Structure 1
Amino acid sequence: MTRTVLITGCSSGIGRASAEAFLDEEWTVYATARNPADIETLGEHDDCRIATLDVTDEGDVERVVDRILDEEGRIDALVNNAGYAQLGPVEEVPTDAVADQFDVNVYGPHRLIREVLPAMRRREDGAIVNVSSAVGRMSFPGGGVYAGSKYALEAMSDALRNEVREYGISVSLVEPGPVDTGFDERAESEVEGLERTGAYDFFHGLFEDYDAVGGGGGFLSVTPERVAEDVVDAASSTKPPARYPVGPMATVAEVGRLLPARVVDALWGLAAKFT
Structure 2
Amino acid sequence: MSRSHSTRSVLVTGASSGIGLATAHRLLDSGWHVFAAARRLEAMEPLRLRGAEVLSLDLADEGSCRQLADVIGRHVGALDALVNNAGYGEAGPVETMPVERARAMFEVNVFGLIGLTQMLLPPMRERRRGRIINLSSIAGRFVTPGAGWYGASKHALEGISDALRLELHSFGVQVVIVEPGLILTGFASTSAASLQWQALHPVWGPMMRRVEMAWDQGFRQASTPEVVARTIVSALEVSRPKPRYRCGSQSEALVLQPFIPTRLWDALVRQRMIGQR
- Normalising by structure 1, report the TM-score: 0.93
Q: Which residue number corresponds to residue 270 of structure 1?
A: 271
Provide closer, same or farther for how the CA distance between residues 134 and 212 of structure 1 changes in structure 2, counting only shifts above 3 A: closer
Alpha-carbon deviation of 1:190? 2.6
User: For 2:275 and 2:256, how far apart are their aligned partners in 1?
Assistant: 23
Match of 2:105, as an amino acid?
Q
Matched, 1:242 2:243: yes
1:179 maps to 2:183:
yes
Higher mean displacement: 60-69 or 98-107:
60-69
Match of 1:21 in 2: 26
Aligned 8 A contact 1:126 1:168 in 2: yes
Cα distance in 2 for residues equivalent to 1:274 and 1:200: 14
Mind listing any 5+ residue stretches in structure 1 that lack a counterpart? none
1:40 is paired with a residue of what secondary structure?
helix
Quote the RMSD (CA, aligned, Å): 1.8
Kept after mapping to 1: 8 A contact 2:267/2:276: no
Q: How does 1:222-261 map to 2 (within 5 A)?
A: 222-261=223-262
Letter in 2 for 1:237: V
Deviation at 1:143, TM superposition (A): 0.9
Report the CA distance between 1:261 and its aligned residue: 1.4
1:54-108 CA distance string (max 9 Å, x none): 0111111111122112112320111111111111111110000110010111112
Indicate the residue corresponding to 1:137 in structure 2.
Answer: 141
Instruction: Tell whether the 8 Å contact from 1:75 to 1:126 is kept in structure 2 after alignment.
Output: yes
Secondary structure, aligned partner of 1:270: helix
> Is the deviation greater in 127-136 or in 242-251?
242-251
Spell out, residue by residue over 1:144-176, the C-alpha distance to the aligned partner (whole angstroms, 9 max, x if none).
000000000000111110000001011011101
Comparing 236-245 with 132-141, greater Cα deviation is found at 236-245
Alignment partner, residue 171 of structure 2 = 167
Q: How many residues align?
A: 271
TM-score by structure 2 length? Answer: 0.92
1:108-136, Cα deviation, whole Å (9 max, x unpaired): 21112101110001110000000110111
The 5-angstrom pairing of residues 1-275 of structure 1 reads: 1-46=6-51, 48-194=52-198, 196-213=200-217, 216=219, 218-219=220-221, 221-271=222-272, 272-273=274-275
Deviation at 1:259, TM superposition (A): 2.0
Counterpart of 1:88, as a letter, is G
Give the letter aligned to residue 25 of structure 2. Answer: E
Q: Is the 8 Å Cα contact of residues 172 and 242 (structure 1) preserved in structure 2?
A: yes
